[in-house]
Amino acid sequence: MNHLPVLPVLIPLVAGALLLLLHDAPLRLRRLVVAVACLSLLGVALMLVTLADRGGYLVYQLGNWPSNVGIVLVVDRLSALMVLLTAILGAVAASAAAGGLDTRQAHFHALLMFQLMGIAGAFLTGDLFNLFVFFEVLLIASYGLLVHAADGERLRRATHYMILNLTGSSLFLVGLGVLFGLVGTLNMADLAAKIAATPDENVALVRAAALLLMVVFALKGALLPLWFWLPRTYAAATPAVAALFAIMTKVGIYAVYRVHTLVFGAEAGPAAGVAEPWVLPLGLATLVLGALGALAAPSLRTLTGHLVVASAGTLFTAFGVGGADALGAALYYLVHSTLAAAALFLLADLVLRHRPAAGDCLRTDDAIRRRDPLALAFIVAAVSIAALPPLSGFVAKVALLDALAAHPSGAWLWTVVLASGLVVIVALARAGSHLFWRPPPKGHVATTPVAAPAFAETAPLAALLTASLALSVLADPVLAYARAAAAQLAAPSAYIAAVLGQRPVERPGSDR
Partner 1 sequence: MLFALIALPFAAALALMLAPRAGRNLSAWTVGLAALAGLAILFVLAPAVFGGEVLRARAPWIEAIGLEFFIRIDGWAWLFAFLVLGIGALIVLYARWYLAPEDPPRRFFAYLALFMGAMLGITLAGNLLLLIVFWELTSISSFLLIGFWGRRHEARAGARMALAVTGGGGLALLAGVLVIGHIVGSYDLDLVLASGELIRSHPLYVPALVLVLLGAFAKSAQFPFHFWLPHAMAAPTPVSAYLHSATMVKAGVFLLARLHPALAGSTEWLLIVSAIGLSTLVLGAVAAVFQQDLKGLLAYSTISHLGLITLLFGLGSPLAVVAGVFHILNHATFKASLFMAAGIIDHETGTRDLRRLGGLYAAMPITGTLAIVASLAMAGVPLLNGFLSKEMFLAETLAFESWPSYQLAVPVLAVFAGICSVAYSARFVHETFFGPKGHPPKTPHEPPRLMRVPVEILVVLCLAVGILPNLVVADLLALGAGGVLQGPLPDYHLAIWHGFNWPLAMSAISLAGGLALYAILHRRGIARRIDLLSRGKIAFEGIVAALIGLAQRVTRTLETGRIQGYLLWLLAFILLVGASPFVDLAAPLSTKPAQPAGPMAVGLWLLIVAGALTVTVAYRRRLVAVIAMGIVGLGVSLVFALLSAPDLALTQLLVDMVTTVLLLMALRYLPAISPPEPERLARWRDGAIAVAAGLGTTAIVYMVLTRPHPSIAEYILATTMSEAGGANAVNTVIVDYRGFDTLGEITVFAIAGIVIYALLDRVRLTALTPFAAKGPAPHSLLLNLCAQLILPLAVAVSAYLFLRGHNAPGGGFIAGLVLAIALILQYIAAGSEWVDERLDHDWNRWIGAGLLAAAATGIGAFAFAHPFLTSSTPHVHLPLVGEIHLASAMGFDTGVYLVVFAACLLMLAMLGKVSRWEARD
Q: Exactly one of 4, 39, 42, 215 binds partner 1 (CB under 8 A); which one?
A: 215
Q: Which is nearer to partner 1, 54 or 442 (CB)?
A: 442
Q: DSSP for 85-131?
A: HHHHHHHHHHHHHTTTHHHHSTTHHHHHHHHHHHHHHHHHB-BHHHH
* Side chain identity at residue 237, one-letter code: A
Q: Exactly one of 8, 18, 172, 198 binds partner 1 (CB under 8 A); which one?
A: 18
Q: How many CB atoms lie within 10 A of CB 20?
A: 13
Residues in contact with partner 1, counted by CB under 8 A, come to a total of: 130
Q: Which of 302, 309, 223 is nearest to 260 (CA)?
A: 223
Q: Does 196 bind partner 1 (CB under 8 A)?
A: no
CA triple 477-126-275, angle to 5 deg? 80
What is the smallest separation between the CB atom of 10 and partner 1, expressed in angstroms? 6
What is the smallest separation between the CB atom of 381 and partner 1, expressed in angstroms? 13
Q: Is the peptide bond before 281 cis (omega within 30 degrees of 0)?
A: no
Q: Does 167 bind partner 1 (CB under 8 A)?
A: yes
Q: Does 441 bind partner 1 (CB under 8 A)?
A: no
Asked if residues 366 and 299 have their Cβ atoms less than 8 Å apart, the reply is no
Q: Exactly one of 74, 110, 303, 339 binds partner 1 (CB under 8 A); which one?
A: 110
CB-based contacts of 275: which residues, under 8 Å, 6+ apart?
A: 210, 211, 214, 256, 260, 264, 319
Q: Does 200 bind partner 1 (CB under 8 A)?
A: yes
User: Buried (b) or exposed (e) across 372-383, using 16+ Cβ within 10 A?
Assistant: eebbebbebbbb
Q: Does 105 bind partner 1 (CB under 8 A)?
A: yes
What is the smallest separation between the CB atom of 197 and partner 1, expressed in angstroms? 11
CA triple 12-13-14, angle to 5 deg? 95
197 CB-contact burial (10 Å; exposed 0-12 / middle 13-18 / buried 19+): exposed
Q: Does 268 bind partner 1 (CB under 8 A)?
A: no
> Judged by CB under 8 A, which stretch of 92-100, 245-253, 294-302, 345-353 contacts partner 1?
294-302
Asked if residues 385 and 429 have their Cβ atoms less than 8 Å apart, the reply is no
Integer CA distances (angstroms), 35 to 141, 389, 460, in order: 19, 34, 13
What is the smallest separation between the CB atom of 373 and partner 1, expressed in angstroms? 10
Q: Which is nearer to partner 1, 379 or 491 (CB)?
A: 379
Q: Which is nearer to partner 1, 89 or 282 (CB)?
A: 282
What is the smallest separation between the CB atom of 451 and partner 1, expressed in angstroms? 21
Q: Exactly one of 84, 222, 226, 377 binds partner 1 (CB under 8 A); which one?
A: 226
Q: Exactly one of 91, 119, 188, 211 binds partner 1 (CB under 8 A); which one?
A: 211
The single-letter DSSP state of residue 263 is T
Element (H, E) at 248: helix 248-262
**Which x/- pattern, by CB under 8 A, does the window 24-43 give for partner 1?**
x-------------------
How many angstroms separate the CA atoms of 237 and 135, rounded?
A: 19
Q: Exactly one of 171, 272, 357, 463 binds partner 1 (CB under 8 A); which one?
A: 171
What is the smallest separation between the CB atom of 203 and partner 1, expressed in angstroms? 6
> Judged by CB under 8 A, which stretch of 211-219, 242-250, 256-264, 341-349 contacts partner 1?
211-219
Q: Does 232 bind partner 1 (CB under 8 A)?
A: yes
Q: Which is nearer to partner 1, 38 or 117 (CB)?
A: 117
Asked if residues 456 and 100 have their Cβ atoms less than 8 Å apart, the reply is no
Number of H helices, E strands in the chain: 21, 2
**Which x/- pattern, by CB under 8 A, does the window 376-415 give for partner 1?**
x--x---x----xxx---xx-xxx-xx--x-----x--x-
Which residues inside 43-82 make contact with partner 1, applying CB under 8 A?
A: 60-65, 68-71
What is the smallest separation between the CB atom of 136 and partner 1, expressed in angstroms? 5
CB-based contacts of 100: which residues, under 8 Å, 6+ apart?
A: 454
Q: Does 168 bind partner 1 (CB under 8 A)?
A: yes
What is the smallest separation between the CB atom of 71 and partner 1, expressed in angstroms? 5
Which residues inside 475-494 make contact with partner 1, applying CB under 8 A?
A: 475-476, 479-480, 483
